[in-house]
Structure 1
């Protein structure tokens, strides 16, 4: 077994210090012997070890524009995708070249990118292939790395926050106002991304005490608005205060004298205001703002800022889809994908819309494009699982949900769906385990509580099931599945009127053949044959191929 000893101290190389050193050992061999393996993981290899000669295989429009136009900053969860991609590369390389033992020194001093990678390696690679051993750790010394352009471009938010705050503490605004203001904006955005919004807000307020330049003032106002409307704690969101701040940004940007400068900055801020209006429940206003920003770009930025224009186009597609204007939404997504066929997120959005429209094969093709274009993307597998389940491919759905949770054990929605699938299989013990894990992450998740109720009911624990359904409905009064399941539970207990009330409420929230069939059974049990027949006929209209419905009608 090959033995590798590496230092993970972030002061040595910043983010992915450990990953970079590990890749130094194995990428040259892979390039020489298995170049297709390197090509399959080029994005994650280039992110973690940009000094290595890894050819660019998968590209996006953002790779071709100047840094100032790269307005799409990766979110905090992107590093998990990178870590999973690196783990899969290492696993495949070791499967071909032989197992190894990796001793990691100074793991306590590692950047979060490396601690996340070590966790993923330990979870996803068999110990017989890679054994990870924690080596000695000493308190770090020396300066932090300050590659702020790289930190911004790659979404290394923890490094940007830590190194940026340290740099700002030793940097006077008066000495270099432009450099101080740029770094302050970047650090504040990073702090928001890692859910340290109070510190981000304090930094924006500090910057406001120094800055009078209009564009920077507008950016600070925009950043403050985004904290107020996107705070990770929903209880601390304040769309009304966000509106006050985003209006300041829009006002200032609208007064910029240069038409091109104004079109970009005002369009950016109008797009931010659209999010605020959406959170205020004003969907039409949000769509109008995005369309105003698109019109500005078309008039004053012809051929410029292509990433900005694509962001606006994709946002218009999302708003149109939410409004039910699906043909126009698809046109937006088609145009965005045609302009940047290497960007995975647009395929994900289009796939979701195609799934809603029942175009399942096309939806699956889009999700598989995401899988091909991106480092491991849990949402693509999760969404494909929904399509597979809807089309009766339960084994495929289960495999996709298993893989989703392999990639991201904190993906609560996958626990919900897999638990529901396990209930359908009759595997109540495994379903309960998934519910338990999901509720540890989100104790107030109504969907998990609904599945818990199904498990309790199936195991004859009727009072516990009722408590779970009641708790789900307290959190989500419009959750049709909870009403339906509570109705079925009431019927099993002989409470027919309560069953009718719950099933009727569920049908009002979303009429389906199954719900109508179940209510017809309750109507029949209470001697209300006419209502039962009416429900069966409507159920047959919705699902004429259902054998149970046809049989019930024939026996009527």
Structure 2
């Protein structure tokens, strides 16, 4: 019997438009406002200082609003970010940065039609950055337009063949379309460009869903190697081990998963399955009950307890 997995099906998070104005003509506040290494808090404070002095006008003032909007977006203060980005568009309607960053706020607010319209305008003003296409692809995907999303990721990759995020996102959409060959190719390229934990988990999920369990286990093992205190690699590999009948290995992996993430209901449920297969009835009952404590009504845990005579 297959056991449920807390699947890490994740469209990789899309980067926002980086500040684009040169810092050479300003003082420390201006440099922090537009500098690529500023934290969101630093950016918001510095851009506020620039705006409040009243020393900037036109496109430079629009840039300060655009970059403060960027910082506020990173802080998830979306209404305040939208106000800044509206002002940036008003001050410089030919400034692609403002449309890119405002589109990202609309996307976070799940207003995908407005997000796509702003990305359209940003691309019309400056069709060169890969980021705008990748971000528009994310919004198209969120609307359910999978083919439109792939088309945008295609362009993003043509603009920047080393853009790992675009490969990750295109791979995810191909996986949703059950196009295993293209999904694996994109995830493999992503791993070559940026071999982080999510890269291996995403490819492992495709191997898992296409019944290539040894390869899935190997990718989850790489995720564990890269991030041994992250529960995701452990619980994904634990599920594969249970699929393969390695109940002791599955139990060991779920022990680790719960050590690092004791709030994951599926790890409790799946570890209960492993314990049940290994003859530890009381341990299984305890784990199923914990799963139900975390998620009342979890059907698999309820059915397992009922079969064990322990409702």
**How high is the TM-score relative to the length of structure 1?**
0.42
The 5 Å alignment of 1:83-482 reads 265-266=26-27, 269-273=28-32, 283-296=40-53, 298=54, 301=55, 305-375=57-127, 377-440=129-192, 442=193, 444-458=195-209, 460-475=211-226, 482=233
How far did 1:356 drift? Answer: 1.7
Q: Give the direction of change, closer, same or farther, for the CA distance of 1:480–1:370 in structure 2 (3 Å limit).
A: farther
Deviation digits for residues 309-348 of structure 1, max 9, x if unmatched? 1221111111222223222111111111121222222111
Structure 1 partner of 2:13: none
Q: Give the direction of change, closer, same or farther, for the CA distance of 1:452–1:529 in structure 2 (3 Å limit).
A: closer
Q: Give the direction of change, closer, same or farther, for the CA distance of 1:306–1:287 in structure 2 (3 Å limit).
A: same
Tell me the secondary structure at the aligned position of residue 426 of structure 1.
coil
Contact 2:32 2:42 survives alignment (8 Å): no
The total of aligned residue pairs comes to 270
Contact 1:487 1:500 survives alignment (8 Å): no
Contact 1:537 1:553 survives alignment (8 Å): no
Contact 1:450 1:468 survives alignment (8 Å): yes
Q: RMSD over aligned Cα, in angstroms?
A: 3.7
Contact 2:104 2:115 survives alignment (8 Å): yes
How far did 1:437 drift? Answer: 3.0
Whether 1:499 aligns to 2:254 is yes
Q: Give the direction of change, closer, same or farther, for the CA distance of 1:334–1:505 in structure 2 (3 Å limit).
A: farther
Cα distance in 1 for partners of 2:179, 2:187 equals 12
Contact 1:423 1:454 survives alignment (8 Å): no
How far did 1:408 drift? Answer: 3.6
Cα distance in 2 for partners of 1:355, 1:479 equals 28
Cα distance in 2 for partners of 1:362, 1:504 equals 43
How far did 1:290 drift? Answer: 2.4
Q: Select which of 286, 289, 305 maps to 1:530.
A: 289
Cα distance in 2 for partners of 1:276, 1:474 equals 34
Deviation digits for residues 234-274 of structure 1, max 9, x if unmatched? xxxxxxxxxxxxxxxxxxxxxxxxxxxxxx732xx323235
Cα distance in 2 for partners of 1:305, 1:475 equals 48
Cα distance in 2 for partners of 1:532, 1:396 equals 39
Cα distance in 2 for partners of 1:524, 1:486 equals 16
Cα distance in 2 for partners of 1:443, 1:290 equals 32
Tell me the secondary structure at the aligned position of residue 293 of structure 2.
helix
The 5 Å alignment of 1:49-68 reads none
Cα distance in 1 for partners of 2:152, 2:177 equals 16
What stretches of structure 1 of length at least 5 have no aligned partner?
1-70, 74-221, 224-263, 509-514, 539-548
Q: Give the direction of change, closer, same or farther, for the CA distance of 1:276–1:382 in structure 2 (3 Å limit).
A: closer
Contact 2:257 2:267 survives alignment (8 Å): no
What stretches of structure 2 of length at least 5 have no aligned partner?
1-19, 274-283, 307-311
Cα distance in 1 for partners of 2:289, 2:96 equals 53
How far did 1:497 drift? Answer: 5.1
Q: Give the direction of change, closer, same or farther, for the CA distance of 1:487–1:289 in structure 2 (3 Å limit).
A: farther
Q: Give the direction of change, closer, same or farther, for the CA distance of 1:318–1:420 in structure 2 (3 Å limit).
A: same
Q: Give the direction of change, closer, same or farther, for the CA distance of 1:278–1:437 in structure 2 (3 Å limit).
A: closer
Contact 2:168 2:186 survives alignment (8 Å): yes
Cα distance in 2 for partners of 1:477, 1:373 equals 45
Cα distance in 1 for partners of 2:111, 2:229 equals 27
Q: Give the direction of change, closer, same or farther, for the CA distance of 1:388–1:523 in structure 2 (3 Å limit).
A: farther
Tell me the secondary structure at the aligned position of residue 110 of structure 2.
coil
Contact 2:44 2:68 survives alignment (8 Å): yes
Q: Give the direction of change, closer, same or farther, for the CA distance of 1:393–1:491 in structure 2 (3 Å limit).
A: farther
How far did 1:459 drift? Answer: 5.0
